[in-house]
Amino acid sequence: MPRIDARARLDFALFARQAWAAQVYPCLVDEVRKRAGALAETSEDLDRWTERVDKVAPFVWQSSIYPFFAWLERGLQKQLWRATSEVVSESPTTLEIDLGDSESDGTLELDGETELPKWYAECDFHLQPGGVWPSLANGEVYKLGAQVVMLGANDQAQFHRLFTDTAIPDRDYRRIVDLGCGFAKSTFPLKQRFPHAEVIGIDLAEPLLKMAWAQARRDGIVVRLRQADCRSTGLDGASADLVTATMLIHELPLYAVEEMLAEVARLLRPGGLLRVLDFHPTGDPLRDLAMMEHSERNNEPFLADLFKADVIKLCGKAGLADARWVAFDERGAGRLNEAVWPKRKEWHFPWAVLEAVRP
Ligand X SMILES: C[S@@+](CC[C@H](N)C(=O)[O-])C[C@H]1O[C@@H](n2cnc3c(N)ncnc32)[C@H](O)[C@@H]1O
Whole-number Å distance between alpha carbons of 327 and 96: 40
- Closest approach, Cβ 271 to ligand X, in A, equals 24
Tell me if 88 contacts ligand X by CB under 6 A.
no
Tell me if 251 contacts ligand X by CB under 6 A.
yes
Residues 161-180 that bind ligand X (CB under 6 A): 180
Tell me if 208 contacts ligand X by CB under 6 A.
yes
Among 31, 229, 284, 355, indicate the residue that binds ligand X (CB under 6 A): 229
Please provide residue 355's backbone torsions phi and psi, each rounded to the nearest 5 degrees: -120, 140
Tell me if 186 contacts ligand X by CB under 6 A.
yes
Angle at which helix 285-297 crosses helix 65-90, to 10 degrees, equals 50
Angle at which helix 136-149 crosses helix 206-219, to 10 degrees, equals 70
Tell me if 148 contacts ligand X by CB under 6 A.
no
User: Helix H segments across the chain?
Assistant: 4-19, 25-39, 43-49, 53-62, 65-90, 118-121, 136-149, 158-167, 188-193, 206-219, 254-267, 285-297, 303-308, 311-318
Tell me if 276 contacts ligand X by CB under 6 A.
no
187 CA to centre of own chain: 13
Nearer to ligand X, 201 or 285 (CB): 201
Among 144, 190, 197, 205, indicate the residue that binds ligand X (CB under 6 A): 205
- Closest approach, Cβ 230 to ligand X, in A, equals 4
Stretch that binds ligand X, among 40-48, 69-77, 181-189, 349-357 (CB under 6 A): 181-189
Whole-number Å distance between alpha carbons of 140 and 132: 9
DSSP state, 20? I
- Closest approach, Cβ 45 to ligand X, in A, equals 41
CA atoms within 13 A on the CB side of 104: 1
Tell me if 120 contacts ligand X by CB under 6 A.
yes
Within 213-284, strands assigned E span 224-227, 240-246, 268-279
- Closest approach, Cβ 344 to ligand X, in A, equals 22
Nearer to ligand X, 71 or 255 (CB): 255
Exposure letters 301-320 (e unless 16+ CB within 10 A, then b): ebbbbbbeeebeebbeebeb
- Closest approach, Cβ 27 to ligand X, in A, equals 29
Looking only at the bridges linking them, the beta strands covering 107-109 and 224-227 are parallel
Tell me if 207 contacts ligand X by CB under 6 A.
no
Tell me if 247 contacts ligand X by CB under 6 A.
yes
- Closest approach, Cβ 65 to ligand X, in A, equals 29
Among 79, 85, 246, 295, indicate the residue that binds ligand X (CB under 6 A): 246
Nearer to ligand X, 134 or 316 (CB): 134
Whole-number Å distance between alpha carbons of 33 and 123: 36
- Closest approach, Cβ 294 to ligand X, in A, equals 14
Query: What residue ranges bind ligand X (CB under 6 A)?
Result: 120, 132, 180-182, 185-186, 202-205, 208, 229-230, 246-248, 251-252
